[in-house]
Amino acid sequence: MSKTILCIGAGYVGGPTMAMIARKCPGYRVHVVDIDADRIRAWQSDQLPIYEPGLHEVVKSCLNRNLFFSTDIARGIEEADIIFVSVNTPTKTFGQGAGMAADLQYWEKTARQIKQHSRSDKIVVEKSTLPVRTAEAMERILHSGERTVHFEVLSNPEFLAEGTAIKDLENPDRVLIGGHSTDSGRRAVAELVSIYAHWISRERILTTNVWSSELSKLAANAFLAQRISSINSLSALCERTEADVTEVARAIGMDSRIGPKFLNASVGFGGSCFKKDILNLVYLCRHYGLTEVADYWEQVVRMNEYQEDRFVRQMIASMFNTVAGKRIAVFGFAFKADTGDTRESPAIRVCRSLIEERASLVVTDPEALDNARRDLADCAGKVTFDKDPYRAAEGAHAIAVMTDWSEYKKLDFQKIYDSMSKPAFLFDGRNCLDHQRLFQTGFNVYPIGRKPLSHL
């Protein structure tokens, strides 16, 4: 084996990225560590800790060959030549910058551990998404006190999307590596480039300075979320004017300067990254006194919250201004299809609002029910969970579609309609079903950004 790679943090990013590196670079020994022993055990088992299409095969192909999982962080650091850090960087919930700034406690703890256990020079790679200039802070921690070991810090943000992580890792639009323009910085960048070059063409591997790399990740997420908020803002206007947001999206998406992706109107975006990274950007802008820039980006998050709230208001208004005591089947709890991840899922806010209105909920999802149970643990007695969508819909007054799972398109909606209370309502928060057909079946259908199809 030529070199040892360590990854600290075995989550949605650390697990899949390291599995892909291990598979593509059989000459490297790849070791993934985490403080969470259950998570590590799951990575070594047949029940991986996260659901991601294609992940199981990739892990299986190299597990215990050149891919290893453990909780022995100290030994991992000692043995490693290159250390990726992909610990979580959630939004701070306390003190200065609460609700906005990144909580860097896990990150800093990791930096101190790396310093403590390193006996030889290392390349340290920021994989987590971090505020601009965090690498600089990390360098200061690593090089504080007695300087016996040299650390070269690189930024290598991850652009994979959950649900398509394996595809994205196998064939990324680009890999971004930021490093210093010193001799040792250039050598470290070249070393990281050579790992990715095992399967990614050199033109797709961009190298830049550390700060540009850090900011590019925040900027990419801000731009993606902004497109969703932009089309969602127009969906509200479409509902008032009888324009159809799908038609508008198609018309503008055919403009090659705009492009068709990320233009689906919906109940809103979710996931652990968009909101957190935009708020992080907003906080940074405010820190540097750029109030107008901060306000501009903050509006992307506010528009998303508005869209979630508007969805609930629409439900209540169309169900005769009350949902109290009514059974509502929530179809999907994951923040998007093909993942079990529910972090910041719009379903959370929507369900909580409906529970406040005293609705009685039944949540169904093919992969996210364990997380949903945890997210709504404080709502016992007001919500139940059922993997089977047919059972979930039985006796319900309404269905609220929260996730665009492809299996929902294949359901027998006649059978579902027959089992529901009448009048039966369907609120499609993802615009993913055949509305005309549902209407013909008897449903009162409420899409996003389009005229409702109502029998009432």
Which residues are known to be catalytic?
Answer: 273
CA 235/CA 257 separation, integer angstroms: 21
- Report whether 316 contacts 326 (CB < 8 A): no
- Of the candidate spans 105-113, 255-263, 285-293, 317-325, the one that interacts with ligand NAD by CB under 6 A turns out to be 105-113
| Least distance in angstroms from the C-beta of 396 to ligand NAD | 32
Q: Looking at 5, 6, 8, 195, which residue binds ligand NAD (CB under 6 A)?
A: 8
Is residue 88 part of the contact set for ligand NAD (CB under 6 A)? Answer: yes
Q: Nearest distance from residue 162's CB to ligand NAD, in Å?
A: 5
Rounded to the nearest 5°, which phi and psi values hold at 254?
-80, -10
Peptide bond into 172 cis (omega under 30): no
CB closer to ligand NAD out of 35 and 141: 35
210 binds ligand NAD (CB under 6 A): no
Q: Is 35 in the site for ligand NAD (CB under 6 A)?
A: yes
Question: What is the closest distance, in whole angstroms, from the C-beta atom of residue 307 to ligand NAD in the complex?
Answer: 21
Cβ closest to ligand NAD, residue 6 vs residue 396: 6
* Look-up of token digits 């006194």: 289
Among 4, 66, 91, 110, binds ligand NAD (CB under 6 A): 110
Place of tokens 């290598």: 156
Shortest CB 113 distance to ligand NAD, Å: 6
Q: Does 367 bind ligand NAD (CB under 6 A)?
A: no
Taking a C-beta distance cutoff of 8 angstroms, is the pair 328, 350 a contact? no
Q: Is 444 in the site for ligand NAD (CB under 6 A)?
A: no
Long-range CB contact pairs, 234-241, < 8 A, 24+: 234/265, 234/449, 235/265, 235/307, 235/448, 235/449, 236/306, 236/307, 236/310, 236/449, 238/265, 238/449, 238/450, 239/449, 239/450, 239/451
Give whichever of 205 and 424 is closer to ligand NAD, judged by the CB atom: 205
346-356 vs 291-318: helix crossing angle, rounded to 10: 50
9 counts as binding ligand NAD under rule CB under 6 A: yes
Sheet containing 205-208: order of strands: 67-70, 28-33, 3-8, 82-85, 122-126, 151-155, 175-178, 205-208
Q: How far is CA 47 from CA 60, 280, 411, 437, 439, in A?
A: 11, 34, 27, 38, 40
Q: Which residues in the 149-168 window bind ligand NAD by CB under 6 A?
A: 158, 160, 162
Give, in order, the Cα–Cα distances in Å from 144 to each of 141, 301, 307: 5, 38, 47
Q: Which of 5, 6, 7, 11 binds ligand NAD (CB under 6 A)?
A: 11
Range 235-294, binding ligand NAD (CB under 6 A): 272-273
Nearest residue by C-beta to ligand NAD? 11
Distance CA 15, CA 456 (A): 50
Contacts of residue 194, Cβ cutoff 8 Å, sequence gap at least 6: none
- By CB under 6 A, is residue 101 in contact with ligand NAD? no
Indicate whether 118 belongs to the interface with ligand NAD (CB under 6 A).
Answer: no
Using CB under 6 A, which of the segments 27-35, 166-174, 175-183, 281-289 binds ligand NAD?
27-35
Contact 183, 155 (CB under 8 A): no
Stretch that binds ligand NAD, among 86-94, 280-288, 302-310, 344-352 (CB under 6 A): 86-94
Nearer to ligand NAD, 210 or 438 (CB): 210
- Locate 47 and state its tokens: 């029940």
In angstroms, give the least distance from the CB of 2 to ligand NAD.
Answer: 25
Residue 17 binds ligand NAD, judged by CB under 6 A: no
DSSP code, position 205: E
Q: CB 172 → ligand NAD: shortest distance, Å?
A: 12
- Span from 9-17, 76-84, 179-187, 330-338 in contact with ligand NAD (CB under 6 A): 9-17
Q: How far apart are CA 329 and CA 346, in angstroms?
A: 15
One-letter amino acid for residue 298 of the chain:
E
Query: Is residue 89 within the footprint of ligand NAD (CB under 6 A)?
Result: yes
Distance from CA of residue 399 to its chain's centroid? 25
User: Minimum distance from CB of 327 to ligand NAD (Å)?
Assistant: 33
Query: What character string, x for contact with ligand NAD (CB under 6 A) and - otherwise, covers 369-408?
Result: ----------------------------------------
From candidates 5, 7, 13, 432, binder to ligand NAD by CB under 6 A: 13
Of 14, 76, 131, 340, the residue at the interface with ligand NAD (CB under 6 A) is: 14
**Which residues of the shown chain bind ligand NAD in the complex (CB under 6 A)?**
8-14, 33-36, 39, 73, 86-89, 106, 109-110, 128-129, 158, 160, 162, 272-273
